[in-house]
Structure 1
Amino acid sequence: MILLFFTNLFPICYAQEIRWEPVAPGIWKGITGSPEDFDLLSAATPEPRMEAIAKLGEAAFPLDSTETLARQSDGKTYLKFPLVREEQLFGFGLNFKTVHQRGRILRLHVDHYGGVDNGRTHAPVPFYVSDRGYGIFVNSARYLDVYAGSGSRLDSKDPALARDRNTDPNWTASPYSDAVEILVPADGVEVYLFAGPTPLKAVQRFNLFNGGGPLPPRWGLGFTQRVHRLYDQAEVLAEVDEFEKRGFPLDFVGLEPGWLSKSYPNTFDWDPGRFPDPEGLVASLKKKGVGLNLWINPYVSPDADFFSELTPYYGSHTVWAGAVPDLTMQEAQRIYWQKFKKDHVDIGVSGYKIDEVDGYDRWLWPDVASFPSGLAAEQLRQTYGLLVQKQSARLYRDKNRRTYGLVRASNGGGVRFPYVLYNDYNNHKDFITALINSGFSGILWTPEARASDSAEEWLRRFQTVVFSPMAMINAWASGTKPWTYPEVASEVKAMALLRMQMMPYWYSSFARYHFEGIPPFRGMNLEPGFVEKPAGDGIRKVDLEANPYDEATKKEIKDQYMAGPSLLVAPFFAGESSREVILPEGNWYDFYDGSYAGNGEIITVTARLDQIPVFVREGGIIPLTGPRLHAPGEGETFDLEIRHYGETASSFYLYDDDGVSFAYEKGDYSWREIRVEKDENGNWNGSISRAEAGKPDHIGKVSWTFMTKP
């Protein structure tokens, strides 16, 4: 259907409705123009979890289809999606400073984050979710220009009012806009629409359509220490021994560029001086219950033993004088990754940290570069993080071993990859905002802990690491250890052991991410019963002398988040003595002592050095195991302490499998129901269902703690 818009009888533009077709319950694909063959989904090749999507149920088309419009002009596609007043948007990838995205102007462009939320970031996922309960994903591997309710159209059905700045106190520099408009530099594009009816369900459908979240090996949820970049084999073993001697948990250790014979660019060979016996190192670490992770970036040194064989598959430009393999080509993949398989994976290396597949422009290949596949340089830039994740993970799948690693870039379609994003930006508060935003976009992000300016800052960073997707100490430059600040070493150790105690809770939360699409770490705006209501008027003040076009904006809640099904985490930052926490509707309880905290209200929490504020929803069940230095290994039985909070009977489904292989994909896993209810005398009782015959059963003794006292 062709629509012609008129204002004062003059045509403004031609537009056509996007053609929608259902592809799964509550999910529609829209096509306009002639989409390109190479896009985010063809790069990532996700396998939708159709049965899981079906369990979410059918849902009505959430928008007026006559208001979802597109047009092609000058080799570009223009998209328009409707908005209503008071509607708020979230997502558009890994933002570090903003949670509310309505009114933003972004260029979604894979890049190292430069301190401004302008779309240039490590994972500029072209997916947004509305608080009205739907999400939209633009499946393009191009740089996208997004006007997220920031352009006021002359032909709008609900136009912005023309106000006189001289006399109208409601004049604004950002007039009302009733549309999200996106510019795609291609003759057509695929778009996907995800219904809710809640924002969380829209996110679940997006995640499940992209394969569901990764299920890490159990060891991946333990602690990792990235050692100094020039450590040798003896120093690595000595550091691992010191962790054990001091009683600090450690599940895998990360080697930085010094393990390579040459780096920047890379040979991918072990340095024979620093690491004379790599296979022996891996074996020695394995005996200690510790895995090994290797830093790489993908750029090939002329001294690499496979450099010449890859020559037909390099791009035109180099990175640090290293060749860039076109990893969209199958033969390039075969030649490139066989080196990693033979020299790393086959000897037992646990995973990779894949660095510098994001930017900056000054060292990554430029947009004028060409590649032998014929794809544009920007298409490779937008998808290179996806390609290295997918292809490296395949090495472990072929071994029937799960991996869990780090990567510097990702994009839409990469939900299922077993990688966590990180960067070198290192602002603690912004790290938490990024953790919140990661849950809107199907990615994982770790706040990590590095060198700090004070013992208090080190402890506060460490506390947030405990409640994040990867518990990482990143000491590649500073050599920082958990005990580097002796005045807080005991508090750091207690938090580290708490992370390990919570392993059953974390593992079950990631299983829900995989099987149900629920992000294990997510912003409060996805939580039922949450209302943004900061104290006071909640409005940021302005200084018109400094900026005459500045204006008051609503304050965002970007310093508290949900962890797993039941926990609300509200970090302290260095120097803070108290903070406010907004509790959603329903009763909430203190995680540490079970005391009542509040219901749908703002509470003030006083800082304690030994705790990060954590609250548990009514009826919350938290399965714990004992303090331990390593995650449970394959076949290992572990005891449970099951905590219940509040005054409501409830249940929790505990996930179990072998913890290391892909046998769960063939049904070799178990969900065991934990139930807590009162008996006829009003006493709390707990029960846990038996594992099905032949299914995994690693639970030993079970004890119960009812945290909330009458």
Structure 2
Amino acid sequence: MKFTDGFWLMREGVRASYATEIRDLRVEESRFTAYAAVKRVAARGDTLNTPLITVECFSPAEGVIGVRATHHAGKARRGPDFTLFPDPPDQDTAPAATRRDGPVTELTSGPLTVRADGDGPWGLTFLDQDGRRLTGAGPKGTAFATTPDGAHHMIAQLALDVGENIYGLGERFTPYVKNGQTVDIWQADGGTSSEQAYKNVPFYLSSRGYGVFVNHPGKVSFEIGSEAVGQVQFSVEDQSLEYFVVAGPTPKDVLARYTALTGRPALPPAWSFGLWLTTSFCTSYDEATVTSFVDGMAERGIPLSVFHFDCFWMREYQWSDFLWDPEVFPDPEGMLARLKERGLRVSMWINPYIAQKSALFAEGAARGYLVRRPNGDIWQWDLWQPGMALVDFTNPEATAWYEDKLRLLLDQGVDCFKTDFGERVPTDVVWHDGSDPERMHNYYAQLYNKAVFDLLERERGAGEAVLFARSATAGGQQYPVHWGGDCFASFTAMAESLRGGLSLSLSGFGFWSHDIGGFEGTPDPAVFKRWLAFGLLSSHSRLHGNVSYRVPWEFGEEAVDVARRFTRLKHRLMPYLYGVAAEAHRTGVPMMRPMLVEFPGDPATRTLDRQYMLGPDLLVAPVFTEDGEVEYYVPEGTWTSLLTGESVTGPAWRHETHGFDSLPVLVRDGAVLPWGADEGRPDGDWLDGLTLRVFGPSAAGRTVTVPDLTGATAATFHVVRDAAGARVTAEGTTRPYRVCVEETGATGEGVGRVTVR
């Protein structure tokens, strides 16, 4: 929130106190604590009737420095808190060490240092390993304020340098670069066309090669150059504020350190990367409808991997009771078995709300499993479902009860769940474990998705769990996949969806999807066809809508051709894509990468929000126009169109026109794409008929791994390309494979070592 009235004045009724000078500094081996007066102390009397701000600097992990500023330390600590994963406590050396040189004290952790000067005015300076200033908290950078309503806020400001851009803060559909924006970290069901967000993450990434994570699960208000134009300000209504500065120097380094601290994403099963088709939301459907969809996809040669049943698989007014509507689905077990016989996985829509008409309402109320108001009444309202109540996941027995209901569906043959909602969480309630309602509002999504994901891992086994989740906060990346929520069926919404996905990826989320064609309304065929290509070049791909079906033939035969072409293309890319997915799981670097992530040294990439890198080697620029016009940027080097073989040289801006069966998909110079032979499914044997597609020279060599279905390395290929041709050394396999040098079309068969000329 904003506390000032312009630069000189405070807003009416606001009183602020700023750390001004250090009065005492206590230095330990791996941390220091500064006691900062809020006014200049010229005489002993100046120490009376005035507060101190206690500022602790410490390091939870290598390359991460925490700052905790506290006014009154006696406030009761009520949860929840983010779960952090610092370096193991039994490590050989502490992650940080202090150094004192006269009045200057430094704490260094890996490549990051924080410096405090006891002689000067208050300030903290953060330096990289070369001594370059990254950012700092200046004279107004550490403070507290009271507002007219009596609320107490802790405030921090970190400097913005000239030309510095700020990204992230969750899945935000506002402009991709967050400079100039006011962002409140507060879960809301606001669609994709407003400043509200389903996935709010108090973490931002800077183009200068560092990140900042505010360790507070409740409401955090960010002013990114929008109150003090040279500062990123963040504040919480509390007596203490803790934040972590995360070192780079590259965006990949920042994301790796941040996700090591807050949790790395699980690796979704390979089958989840295929095409998902749903019943849509408000449409009429039964088993005959579902069967007609599945038959229609097969007859048209469009491979299908997952079928999803949306809300009305349950009876109206009774969401959620987890019981099939018997009039519509009289034989659910038989139907699921029939779908499984066709090689499909099955997904079911759920949410954490219990309607009053559901039998689970009385059951949950009697057992104390539903969230209550302070007077003991169950919290209810009529939005979404009549008399809707909320499952209290802070109660372990309530969590087990909820999971038991889902387990019955798993026993019937269901494979995964779409965990919808989780944002409409009240603050005028009492939680079972005594959690602070304000802190629980955002954090509820974490408990909800964790409960369902943990159940799937227990029941289906490690590596088989996957969600289709809408809400999340920091740490939510551990439970993939997340999708972009309710967007309109328009080109504008398609572009805003991509902005949201890019922002989420820079908030530590490795996997992301969206409703192909848009959710609200029925897309124009042009929108649907363009969105198909974009959606099938995303980490996960789902056809879904609101009031109309999303089967491709509803939008014409050309839509069928586009769906077939790009679904098959994604399947052939799976040896590459699943390797990228495994990298996201290991390192936290997302599959869908803003251009900044791969090209941080290229200033032209810092504002690009209509294109992305799919892994390290594929540039994708979705087409957001009916006529096929697209403008995109090509970084330095020679790039090759995956679809046409045309070469493009950068750095350059490109203006092209594409048919509905095309879009810019460029392969990076020196890349070696492992190319699968199986177009029919995403989870086949990728070494069977494998082709190594070599793009451009790489005299230094390029090592490429092909994963197995667990994400482990099945085979490793080392490819050297020079004037003599391409020479390949394979390890871990004796299976035959082909090598194709793209610009010449030369091919060769090989086992072990092969030369292609």
TM range (shorter): 0.7 to 0.9
Where do 5+ consecutive residues of structure 2 fail to align?
Answer: 1-33, 96-107, 117-123, 125-135, 147-151, 373-378, 746-757
Which position in structure 2 is the counterpart of 1:70? 142
Alignment of 1:91-490 (within 5 A): 91-114=168-191, 118=195, 120-152=196-228, 176-177=229-230, 179-229=231-281, 230-263=284-317, 265-311=319-365, 312-316=368-372, 317-319=379-381, 320=385, 321-341=387-407, 343-358=408-423, 364-399=424-459, 400-401=461-462, 402-426=464-488, 427-443=493-509, 444-450=511-517, 453-484=523-554, 485-490=556-561
Looking at structure 2, the residues matched to 346 and 62 of structure 1 have their Cα atoms a distance apart, in angstroms, of 53
Which position in structure 2 is the counterpart of 1:589? 640
Deviates more, 1:124-133 or 1:447-456: 447-456
Looking at structure 2, the residues matched to 408 and 647 of structure 1 have their Cα atoms a distance apart, in angstroms, of 43
Aligned residues of 2:683 and 2:709 also touching (Cα < 8 A) = no
Looking at structure 2, the residues matched to 369 and 314 of structure 1 have their Cα atoms a distance apart, in angstroms, of 11
Aligned-residue offset at 1:267: 1.3
Which position in structure 2 is the counterpart of 1:684? 726
CA displacement 1:211-262 (0-9 Å, x = unmatched): 2222110111000001144422232233222222221111111001121134
Deviates more, 1:586-595 or 1:604-613: 586-595
Code of the residue aligned with 1:26 in structure 2: it is G
Q: How high is the TM-score relative to the length of structure 1?
A: 0.83
Q: Residue 462 of structure 1: SS of its match in structure 2?
A: helix
TM-aligned CA distance change 1:295 to 1:673, over 3 Å: same
Identical counterparts, % of pairs: 24
CA displacement 1:485-519 (0-9 Å, x = unmatched): 21342233111211111111111111000112211
Looking at structure 2, the residues matched to 14 and 641 of structure 1 have their Cα atoms a distance apart, in angstroms, of 69
Which position in structure 2 is the counterpart of 1:41? 82
Q: Residue 310 of structure 1: SS of its match in structure 2?
A: helix
Aligned-residue offset at 1:309: 3.8
Q: Give the number of equivalent residue pairs.
A: 636
Q: Residue 672 of structure 1: SS of its match in structure 2?
A: strand
- 2:166 corresponds to 1:89: yes
Which position in structure 2 is the counterpart of 1:521? 592
Aligned residues of 2:481 and 2:513 also touching (Cα < 8 A) = no
Looking at structure 2, the residues matched to 604 and 526 of structure 1 have their Cα atoms a distance apart, in angstroms, of 23
TM-aligned CA distance change 1:150 to 1:390, over 3 Å: same
CA displacement 1:197-218 (0-9 Å, x = unmatched): 1122101211232322221101
CA displacement 1:145-198 (0-9 Å, x = unmatched): 11122223xxxxxxxxxxxxxxxxxxxxxxx42x22211112224322210111
Please, what is the CA RMSD of the aligned residues? 3.1
CA displacement 1:336-371 (0-9 Å, x = unmatched): 211111x2122331111122222xxxxx35433343
Aligned-residue offset at 1:460: 0.5
Aligned-residue offset at 1:62: 5.4
Looking at structure 1, the residues matched to 692 and 360 of structure 2 have their Cα atoms a distance apart, in angstroms, of 53
Aligned residues of 2:280 and 2:547 also touching (Cα < 8 A) = yes
CA displacement 1:363-408 (0-9 Å, x = unmatched): x354333434333433332022211211101111112151222122
TM-aligned CA distance change 1:112 to 1:29, over 3 Å: same
Q: Residue 126 of structure 1: SS of its match in structure 2?
A: strand
Aligned residues of 2:65 and 2:114 also touching (Cα < 8 A) = no
Looking at structure 2, the residues matched to 380 and 632 of structure 1 have their Cα atoms a distance apart, in angstroms, of 38
Looking at structure 2, the residues matched to 682 and 700 of structure 1 have their Cα atoms a distance apart, in angstroms, of 24
TM-aligned CA distance change 1:305 to 1:501, over 3 Å: same
Looking at structure 1, the residues matched to 546 and 191 of structure 2 have their Cα atoms a distance apart, in angstroms, of 21
TM-aligned CA distance change 1:60 to 1:506, over 3 Å: same
Which position in structure 1 is the counterpart of 2:67? 30
Aligned-residue offset at 1:322: 2.0
Looking at structure 1, the residues matched to 708 and 153 of structure 2 have their Cα atoms a distance apart, in angstroms, of 49
- 2:582 corresponds to 1:511: yes
- 2:672 corresponds to 1:621: yes
CA displacement 1:652-678 (0-9 Å, x = unmatched): 44242444xxxx7xxxx3263222213
Which structure is higher in RCO with an 8 Å CA cutoff and minimum separation 6?
1
Looking at structure 1, the residues matched to 718 and 533 of structure 2 have their Cα atoms a distance apart, in angstroms, of 30
TM-aligned CA distance change 1:380 to 1:2, over 3 Å: closer
Aligned-residue offset at 1:440: 0.4
Aligned residues of 2:204 and 2:213 also touching (Cα < 8 A) = yes
Aligned-residue offset at 1:6: 6.8
Query: Which one has a bigger Cα radius of gyration?
Result: 2
Q: Residue 698 of structure 2: SS of its match in structure 1?
A: coil
Aligned-residue offset at 1:476: 4.9
Instruction: Indicate which of 722, 727, 740 corresponds to 1:705.
Output: 740
Deviates more, 1:641-650 or 1:63-72: 63-72
Instruction: Indicate which of 716, 735, 741 corresponds to 1:673.
Output: 716
Which position in structure 1 is the counterpart of 2:608? 557
Aligned residues of 1:48 and 1:212 also touching (Cα < 8 A) = no
Aligned residues of 1:450 and 1:475 also touching (Cα < 8 A) = yes
Which position in structure 2 is the counterpart of 1:604? 655
Aligned residues of 1:98 and 1:556 also touching (Cα < 8 A) = no
Where do 5+ consecutive residues of structure 1 fail to align?
Answer: 153-175, 359-363, 535-554, 692-698
Looking at structure 2, the residues matched to 496 and 348 of structure 1 have their Cα atoms a distance apart, in angstroms, of 25
Code of the residue aligned with 2:570 in structure 1: it is R
Q: Residue 181 of structure 1: SS of its match in structure 2?
A: strand
TM-aligned CA distance change 1:249 to 1:14, over 3 Å: farther
TM-aligned CA distance change 1:589 to 1:512, over 3 Å: same
Instruction: Indicate which of 674, 680, 683 corresponds to 1:632.
Output: 683
Which position in structure 2 is the counterpart of 1:569? 620
Q: How high is the TM-score relative to the length of structure 2?
A: 0.78
Instruction: Indicate which of 526, 550, 566 corresponds to 1:495.
Output: 566
Code of the residue aligned with 2:314 in structure 1: it is L
Looking at structure 2, the residues matched to 263 and 675 of structure 1 have their Cα atoms a distance apart, in angstroms, of 59
